A and B are shown apart, each in its own frame.
Chain A
Amino acid sequence: MAEVLENFAQAPSASILSCRDLSVTYGARPVLERVSLDIAAAQWTAVVGPNGSGKSTLLRALAGLIQPHRGAVQLQGRRLSAWSRRERARRLAWLAQSAAATDLTAAEVVALGRFAHSGWLAHRKADDDAAMHRAMLATGSLSWAQRRLSTLSGGERQRVHLARVLAVEASVLLLDEPTTHLDPPHQEDVARLLREQTRRCGVSVVSAIHDLSLALTADRLIVLGASGVVGHGTVREALDGDWLSQAFRTRVNIVEHEGVHLWRPRLESLE
């Protein structure tokens, strides 16, 4: 443990969330082994990698939702377990991969994002109302506020859950596939929203993303492969080091168009 703490001392000061020697196992199967990362403050970090590489597990471990087999996570220089549940929930917001279809209304779901602020009795103050309103407006979910989540489409539900996460007004957002179920224009909206959160509000965003083109619009990348972290750095570093091809164990074509990096599928063999 002393070694882990010593390793944390080497974390850059701009890092808001970091982990050292993080190992997670499901039963006897290791999913993450000795992962050490520093999440930059006020930046959007995308986690990419093939299926089963441990993207969701990494996010769950960073959120403190699973107990690591070894290693530790620090939030704002303090071990995650040292924060009280409520304090941690105010600083770290989490979006699960699947958008639950509950019978609660969209407004009630977003109000749950204020749980760490308003507590069990749920006496919403003006701040809570304002945060909810902003979050629903930003995700375009205000018009369904009164509808039960179970009556919304998958994409609409996803936007309500995203609003819940934004309503927390946390300094770190951990999002597991935030663009799942969304059509391309709304995926673009989410990407713009996340960028805005980092630029204007100073929020740090870590999101697992399958769409490589979308992931390449992030500030930084964590690239996971079958054998662990392939690389962690800026998008330029990832492209120069060809981390994506290493992670997916196949040639990953990235083309640059008007300053934007895009993933181009290799379909030549089919023609």
Chain B
Amino acid sequence: MRPVLAESATARWEAAAARRFGVWLLCCVAVTLLLGFGGLIIGTSSIDTSLHWLLAPDAQSSVVLWQIRLPRTVGAWCAGALLGLAGAIAQGVFCNPLAEPYLLGTASGAALGVTICLMGADAAIGGLAWVGNLGITAAACIGACAATLLTITLSRGVLQTASLLLSGIVTAFLLSAVTSLLLLAKPEIYREMQTFLLGTTAYISWTSASLLAVVFCICLVPAILLSRGLDALTLGEDTAQSLGLSLRWLRLTLLGVVALSTSTSVGQVGIVGFVGLVAPHLVRETLTVNHRQLVIAAPLCGGALLQAADLVSRWIIRPAELPVGAVTACVGGAYLVFLLWRRNRDG
């Protein structure tokens, strides 16, 4: 009785869907490479100069291209990919298309961690040496993970999604209030904190980009392995359990992945909004996907989005730069307004 479905219309459709997904992935990779090239030639120098550097590099231009611009664009892609992945998982775990990576209070936790670190170091983000940079990264990660733990503790486990969402909101408000109080006590670090809160890709080095890439690979594995669980969750908790899933184990693991990916991204590029929310939506708008495909496509989309936002932030007021978080907020917000408008129009 070898594959009854293999000969059926379903199997043909599955093959066609797989081809469409493959083409989509190829297009996304092509856009990423194009944006990566843009990341190499857009900067404080003119495009002509950058192209000349590419064609005839000298010692100085090599440093600018390969030690500053390339790690920045690679790091921006990895950070966006982590946010896209976290967004896709968060929306699946909470069965809510408006869920986003910062829902567990990770952003507020990371901000508090960085505030405490800056108060301790009493130094500007830009002026920190690599040790200081690692310090801020670690502080952001610890803050984000602590916030996730606090959220899970407040909701008394992970089985009740409604109380988990509420606990996340409470944690975010609570930690933001503490951060504000600390900033009031030490206003001289406010400017540096602003850089972090608005998000920036300007300080990404090869070390940061490597860290982001390694964490992305680590997070992608359980996300793909557990993606069928996310599919099952869309059928309701009872049904998912009846299929043989342990909801507690599934949610804890996936929320751990969300916490790790978000905290790493926040630690390296600050709080970049909307990428994690918008990337899965963009994928669903263009493809019919299950969660296995979504956890692969959403990172690609998120990476490309942050790369594009990084380019816009560098280009728009050259030679100065806009905070990348402000660009993603503007574009992401506009996109969500468009989705809302279309939903209202279609009833």
Contacts and interface: CB of A to CB of B under 8 A. Distances in A.
B4 interface: yes
Contacts of A146: 9-10, 13, 17
B246 interface: yes
A130 B1 contact: yes
A93 B239 CA distance: 9
A103 B236 contact: no
Most chain A Cβ neighbours within 10 Å, of B4, B238, B241, B290: B238
B234 A104 contact: yes
A112 B243 contact: yes
A47 B115 CA distance: 60
Contact of B4 (A65, A94, A102, A133): A133
Nearest to A109: B235
Interface stretch (B63-71, B82-90, B102-110, B223-231): B223-231
Interface residues of B, number: 33
Given A100-B235, A122-B228, A93 B4 contact: no
A108 interface: yes
A142 B10 contact: yes
Interface in A124-138: 126-127, 129-130, 132-133
B242 interface: yes
Given A104-B231, A108-B290, A93 B1 contact: no
Given A96-B239, A145-B13, 17 more contacts: A85-B245, A88-B244, A93-B242, A94-B242, A96-B238, A104-B231, A104-B234, A105-B290, A108-B290, A112-B228, A115-B244, A126-B4, A127-B1, A129-B6, A130-B1, A146-B9, A148-B288
A65 B232 contact: no
B60 interface: no
Contacts of B234: 100, 102-104
A164 B243 CA distance: 10
12 contacts: A85-B244, A89-B242, A96-B236, A107-B10, A107-B13, A108-B231, A120-B228, A126-B1, A126-B4, A146-B10, A146-B13, A161-B235
Interface in B1-25: 1-6, 8-10, 13-14, 17
Given A86-B244, A89-B243, A100 B236 contact: yes
A145 B14 CA distance: 10
Interface of B: 1-6, 8-10, 13-14, 17, 225-226, 228-229, 231-232, 234-236, 238-239, 241-246, 284, 288, 290, 292
B5 A132 contact: yes
Interface in A48-74: 60, 63, 65
B242 A65 contact: yes
Contacts of B14: 107
A153 interface: no
A203 interface: no
Nearest to A176: B238
A109 B234 CA distance: 10
A105 B288 contact: yes
Nearest to B8: A133
A145 to B, nearest CB: 4
B5 A94 contact: no
A86 B228 CA distance: 14
A254 interface: no
